[in-house]
Amino acid sequence: DARVTQTPRHKVTEMGQEVTMRCQPILGHNTVFWYRQTMMQGLELLAYFRNRAPLDDSGMPKDRFSAEMPDATLATLKIQPSEPRDSAVYFCASGTGTEHEKLFFGSGTQLSVL
């Protein structure tokens, strides 16, 4: 079965360290979403790409977060420097690019910043 792959599954780091999360979308999908899930805020959209171009990253704190797609098979989300309030589960999802597309989610990266 085709699936979205996220690495690492778990990450524990200290405040101030750089964190890089990776996502391999399903082959042939041309939209990629990054969501952050916390108990308090639920699912927040951080960034949204179509054909590797960022369409919307208004939900992402620009001073410390950055999202890129160096190629069609890899999306990255970086936090530098990380802070304890960044602790959350980060999900990547990919889709076929239509407005009513079904999104396929990865299993998430659980990030703990101490």
Partner 1 sequence: AQSVTQLDSQVPVFEEAPVELRCNYSSSVSVYLFWYVQYPNQGLQLLLKYLSGSTLVKGINGFEAEFNKSQTSFHLRKPSVHISDTAEYFCAVRGGATNKLIFGTGTLLAVQP
Task: State the minimum distance, in angstroms, from the CB of residue 43 to partner 1.
Answer: 4
Footprint on this chain of partner 1 (rule: CB under 8 A)? 4, 33, 35, 42-43, 45, 48, 55-56, 91, 93, 99-100, 102-103, 105-108
Q: Which is nearer to partner 1, 37 or 66 (CB)?
A: 37
Classify the phi-psi angles of 32: left when phi > 0, otherwise alpha if psi is within -120 to 50, otherwise beta: beta
Tokens 């889709």 correspond to: 95
Task: State the minimum distance, in angstroms, from the CB of residue 10 to partner 1.
Answer: 11
Q: How far apart are CA 37 and CA 43, in angstroms?
A: 4
Nearest one of 22, 9, 7, 26 to 102, comparing CA atoms = 26
Q: How far apart are CA 112 and CA 114, in angstroms?
A: 6
Q: How far apart are CA 65 and CA 61, in angstroms?
A: 6
